[in-house]
Amino acid sequence: MAFLIRQTLIYAIPLMIVALAGIFSERSGTINLALEGIMIFGAFCGVVFVRGMQNLGWFAQAKADGNWMALQGYLLLAMLGAAILGAIFSLLLGFAAIKLKADQTIGGTALNMLAPAIVLFLIRLTAKQNTLLLVSGDSASWFLIKKTMLGFDKNQDIGVLGEAFLNKVYLTTYVCIIVFVILSVLLYRTKFGLRLRACGENPQAADSLGINVFKMRYAGVLISGALAGMGGFVFSVTTANCSSNGDVAGFGFLALAVMIFGNWKPLNVAGGALLFGLFKCIAACYSTLDVNGDGIYTLANIGINSNVYRLLPYLITLLVLMFTSKKSRAPKAEGIPYDKGMR
């Protein structure tokens, strides 16, 4: 059970944070189809940062000192780097969509094509292969928090929830949850959030009240880019062993679907992300899934082809969207470039 919760969170957290990225952009009025591309770019940048710090010998030093706090600090630093560079990358979309009033779907698609191309170009050029790996060790050995680090004894029983949330977890999970809560509050309980949402609903009205629509939309896209970049790196650390290969397995698109499923509202999105995270988790590790702890792998014994499990998250997304699409309500001005002269 603890294993199931842990694994579900690993898949749900990137989805959740990237779906929030989509919310920020779309609530300010810009369709962000480029989430996938920004994730890929963010993952690459984060991995490059980690490699840089490894090359400087910081990691080995911290490990030798037994200073796992420092390692977590370096992880945070890399997350920050990925977020900043993700934001810069998303400016390409912002510039096209807001300043030049270009088609946002095409702009996003272009970024989705550009990110893997440029990332793979650079990786192949430097690493002579298609995957950029860590210099040494794997992401679990550097970043995984075990219960012994938190002062528990190795054989101490800390309960199912303790096992799920305190043993063998990544700091990224908690950072993402905190960021998610803070930004949700920002979106719904502050002046800035209200203004941002106004620009996605009725920019003309917002403008008439003295809000700078362009600035607000840029802010939305930048926050979106930062979150998606960070989400990409989190995905890479927790599921891809901190490597980058120009691919995030369609998580950016899945996050878009989660966002629509969650009706552009953070709380619903968090729920949706958990649901899809669960199915993704089942798809990834159904064969070693032992729900009630009796040593029997129930799902593996049913004998359903593994491809069915892999197919499920997407099929369920589609089915859920079928039932919710009638009720879904996108931000009204989403996708329409702001034109001062238009009524």
Partner 1 sequence: MKSRESFRNSDSFRTLISSLISILIGLLAGAVIIFIVGLTNSSISFSGAVEGIKIVLFGVFSTGRSAGGALSFGFNPVNMGNLFFRAAPLVLTGLSVAVANKTGLFNIGAPGQYLAGTCASLFIALSIPSSRMAPGLIWLLALLGGMLAGALWGSIPGMLKAMLNMNEVIACIMTNWIAANLVTWLFDISKLKNTAEGTKTGYIYKTTYNGVATPKFGLDKIFAGSQINGGIIIAMILCVIMYVVMEKTTFGFQLKACGANRYAAKYAGIKDRRNIILSMAMAGAMAGAAGSLYYLSGNTEFFWSTYQSLPAEGFTGIAVALLAVNNPIGVIFSGIFMSMLNISGMQLTYLTAYNEYITDVIIAVIVYMSAFSLIIRTMLAGRKKNIAGANANAEPGKREQTLPDAREMASSSAAVKEKEA
Task: Name which of 137 and 335 has its Cβ closer to partner 1.
Answer: 335
Nearer of residues 77 and 118 to partner 1, judged by Cβ = 118
Q: Binding of partner 1 at residue 260 (CB under 8 A)?
A: yes
Which x/- pattern over 65-104 shows residues binding partner 1 (rule: CB under 8 A)?
---------------------------x---x---xxxx-
SS3 assignment, position 145: strand
Instruction: Tell which one of 105, 148, 156, 298 touches partner 1 (CB under 8 A).
Output: 105
| 114 in contact with partner 1 (CB under 8 A) | yes
What 3-state DSSP class applies to 169?
A: strand
Q: Any contact of residue 265 with partner 1 (CB under 8 A)?
A: no
d(CA 85, CA 38): 9
315 contributes a contact to partner 1 by CB under 8 A = yes
Rounded to whole angstroms, what are the CA distances from 38 to 113, 152, 220? 10, 39, 14
* Comparison of 229 and 313: residue with beta carbon closer to partner 1: 313
Q: Which of residues 243, 250, 263, 297 is near partner 1 by CB under 8 A?
A: 250
How many whole angstroms separate alpha carbon 38 and alpha carbon 225?
7
Instruction: Decide if residue 205 touches partner 1 (CB under 8 A).
Output: no
According to the binding rule CB under 8 A, does residue 111 interact with partner 1?
Answer: yes
Q: Which of 64, 209, 302, 322 binds partner 1 (CB under 8 A)?
A: 322
Number of chain residues interacting with partner 1 (CB under 8 A):
47
Binding letters toward partner 1, positions 28-67, x by CB under 8 A: -----x----------------------------------
**Residue 274 sits in the site that holds partner 1 (CB under 8 A):** no
Check residue 116 for interaction with partner 1 (CB under 8 A).
Answer: yes
Min dist. Cβ of residue 106 to partner 1 (A): 4
Report how far apart, in Å, the C-alpha atoms of 105 and of each of 93, 111, 321, 334 are.
10, 10, 20, 11
Smallest distance, Å, CB 253 to partner 1? 4
CB of 171 to partner 1, least distance (A): 28
CA pseudo-torsion sign 146, 148, 151, 154: positive
- Burial class of residue 303 (count of CB atoms within 10 Å of its CB; 0-12, 13-18, 19+): exposed
Contacts of range 198-205, beta carbons closer than 8 Å, 24 or more positions apart = 199/28, 199/29, 199/333, 199/338, 200/26, 200/27, 200/28, 200/29, 200/331, 200/332, 200/333, 200/334, 201/331, 201/332, 201/333, 202/332, 202/333, 203/29, 203/333, 203/338, 204/342, 204/343
Choices 7-15, 156-164, 292-300, 321-329 (CB under 8 A): range interacting with partner 1? 321-329
> In the complex, what is the shortest distance from the CB of residue 93 to partner 1, in angstroms, rounded to a whole number?
9
What phi and psi values does residue 169 have, to the nearest 5 degrees?
-120, 165
Alpha carbon distance 76, 89 (integer Å)? 20
Burial (Cβ within 10 Å: 0-12, 13-18, ≥19) of residue 318: exposed
| Residue 199 to residue 223: CA distance in whole angstroms | 15
Nearer to partner 1, 178 or 308 (CB): 308
Q: Counting Cβ atoms within 10 Å, is residue 79 exposed (0-12), middle (13-18) or buried (19+)? A: buried
By the rule CB under 8 A, 207 interacts with partner 1: no
Q: Does 150 bind partner 1 (CB under 8 A)?
A: no
Q: List residues near partner 1 by CB under 8 A.
A: 33, 92, 96, 100-103, 105-107, 109-114, 116-118, 120-121, 124-125, 247, 249-250, 253, 256-257, 260, 305, 307-308, 310-311, 314-315, 317-318, 321-322, 325-326, 332-333, 335-336
